[in-house]
Amino acid sequence: MAKVLKKSFTVGLGVIFFLAFYPVRIAQHFYEKVFQGASKTSIGCVEVFAEAFYTVEEALKVILPEAQDIKEETKALSEEQKKSISSKAGVKFNPEFDNEYHIYIGQANGQATGYAFEDTVKGKWGPIHYMLAFDADGKIKDAIVLGLKERRGRPIKERKFLGQYIGKSISDPIKLNKDIKGIGGATISSRQMSSGIRKLVYVFNELYKK
């Protein structure tokens, strides 16, 4: 008899616990369903999106500040020139982006003050559109990113969100749906960018220094 009582007591306890906590799970489930859109954009699922930083005009003002006048040129390299640069610089030309180059030449008092190349390289998640400026001697002055595609990180496991925020401002309210503004610890693969710049240094010499 005592055994039966004990068993029913345990089962009853189980049922009570189930009823007490399961609705929370259901509510959570519905909450997630209803607010799916919100949480996905804010906690950031796998998403690639484009970001624009400068227009060409704005960028030119920044990288060719002393220019009174800007002349635009479009130039192309011959297959031979491309081959020789490929072997010298150890870079590959992209048939999609390397057919011709848009060059902006800054001028002041009739003299060229700087050259800005508009170029695109393939980044990790998509093309990186940038501008590289040379001074009149062919030294790199500046590199500026006009726009790129980026992917934000995947969501963090919920457990982490609930319990483990650290940082100095512990008094700050941390909300479950608060999005993550950035991810530290790695960068967009910058290798493509450095080889793009190396390529343009040779292209500049080929087009303007010979």
Q: Does 57 bind another protein (CB under 8 A)?
A: no
Contact 114, 64 (CB under 8 A): yes
Query: What is the rounded CA–CA span in Å between residue 209 and residue 203?
Result: 10
Inter-CA distances, 81 with 78, 84, 191, Å: 5, 5, 23
**Which one of 3, 25, 33, 168 is in contact with another protein (CB under 8 A)?**
168
Query: What is the rounded CA–CA span in Å between residue 119 and residue 201?
Result: 12
Closer of 142 and 206 to another protein (Cβ)? 142
**Which one of 1, 51, 95, 109 is in contact with another protein (CB under 8 A)?**
51
**Which one of 56, 188, 195, 206 is in contact with another protein (CB under 8 A)?**
188
Q: Estimate the crossing angle of helix 191-208 against helix 79-89, to 10 degrees.
A: 130
Write the burial class of residue 102 (CB in 10 Å: 0-12 exposed, 13-18 middle, 19+ buried): middle
- List the one residue out of 89, 90, 136 whose CA is nearest residue 116: 136
**Which one of 184, 202, 206, 207 is in contact with another protein (CB under 8 A)?**
184
**Which one of 39, 197, 198, 208 is in contact with another protein (CB under 8 A)?**
197
Report the nearest approach of another protein to the CB of residue 9 (Å).
28
Choose the stretch contacting another protein; rule: CB under 8 A; options: 6-14, 18-26, 86-94, 172-180: 172-180
Q: Does 167 bind another protein (CB under 8 A)?
A: yes
List 8's β-bridge partners, or say none.
Answer: none
Residues contributing to the site for another protein (CB under 8 A): 46, 51, 53-54, 62, 130, 142-145, 148, 151, 153-157, 160-161, 163-170, 172-174, 178-188, 190, 193-194, 197
